Chain A
Amino acid sequence: MIEEGGLIMEKEQTQGAAQVMDAREQESLSLIELSTPALKVWDEIVLVPIVGVVDTKRAQQIMENLLKSIAEYEARVAILDVTGVPVIDTRVAHHITKTVTAARMMGAEVVITGVSPEAAQTLTKLHVDLSSISTRGTLRAGLKEAFALIGSRVEPRDEGVDS
């Protein structure tokens, strides 16, 4: 009887452990999803802001997300904002290049924004060639570029006419 009881206890413990593991996995999965949203900021423009360190798994996730959003929103321009990425090294740059190539094959142009001066220095020193990709310092400049690419522009309303 005691042995049986022990067995059941053990079984319950393992089940409990498995549940905890499942919950953790679920948590990390939803965290990954949360960390890379794709926003439709304008007709035919999607924005993907990246915050935090980019590892291979996340890069893959971001790439898939970006491409899916291009297809879903039928976007012509995708803005990849890297303001929140602390370090951009060769690996991250490689992922960015791949994403841009894939997006181009789908018929969309990618604008990289928020490249910090430090990142620009590192990339140049590492001889990473991003010259074929359009990059902008700020999201603002990137948006302007995106608008130009879809052939529209935002300008202040003429106050004089209304009043």
Chain B
Amino acid sequence: MVYLDHNATTPLDERVLEAMLPYLRERYGNPSSVHAAGREARSALEMAREQVAALVNAHPSQVIFTSGGTEANNAALKGFALGSTAARLVLGPTEHASIRRPAEALGRHGWQVGQVGCDADGVTCAQTLSQAVDDQTRLVSVMWANNESGAINPIAELAAVCRERGVPLHSDAVQAAGKLPLDFAASGLQLMSLSAHKLYGPKGAGALIVDKALGLEPLLHGGGQERERRGGTENVAAIVGFGRAAELAQAELVSRQQQTRTLRERFEQRLSAALPQAVIFATGAERLPNTSFFAVPPLEGRTLIMALDQRGFAVASGSACGSGQHEPSHVLKAMGVASAQAHGAVRVSFGQQNSDSDIERLITALVSQTKQLQGMGAATAWT
């Protein structure tokens, strides 16, 4: 099997596993306990906090550990909303469900939810945002990089707009972390969400980075952990893994970028040459180096994905969370991509263990599948 779905999740790095194992075995203390076993767990937690902070150039005290990116996004939006009177919230056009759904929930509690636009590559520019933020706007949330297309938003410019209006900006950086250099301090952001399992760390750990000036109500009450900002016994082993994964991601960022970008470029060149009808999305934007989002008209994406799975390739149609749905990607919709093309969308996201030969085999499989499916006259996209 060839795994090409690293934006859905990544395998755990062996070095990360090694760091975690002692905390699943002999170092099992509860960080809230005052005895030696507890203190040992506490200091491991604090080291991980420094490592995660270093990855995104934040202060360790700004890091709140969560159970993952979804919790971080919920904690950002709802935690902010609970501390403010209901007004208006503005979201990016291609946000993950873990931003859109909590915003809808806030909508049921008196909040008005607005959406900013984007260009044909899915990028929101400062000017567009500037028009969407009004006097009633209390918070803006725009993702750093999109999980499906890989398109990168100009976060510092967006933050400048928000600062001018005195509105805090949150960014879901779950896909960006480990793939792009992130600088929380310089970004102008007040809130930023991270996840461990997208950067070769374990599932079940994430973080919300919070500017100290911002008052947040905790999403989880009880126990007073994370300086009263997130109740619940800390997932020590996973957090230690997150820290180690962050450290490795920081140290290896450039080589990882180069490696995946080379693969992606090679793949896209080979795809366009072998299947000239192929459309690659968001190529006008700065993209995550590992992500390629494309369609091979008139083939239907789901059919192609299933056929590739049969041949041993793990690829996706977009967000894993929405994979069960038949709806075309909301990301492509926001980009104004025609529904026929959108239904053909396939996402390939490369990782550390992929190689040139994976690409050759994928192209071969794609070409033969295309011929086969077209020959059968079946499963073409809707017109």
Q: Is A bound to B? A: no
Measured CB to CB, the residues of A under 8 A from B are none
Measured CB to CB, the residues of B under 8 A from A are none
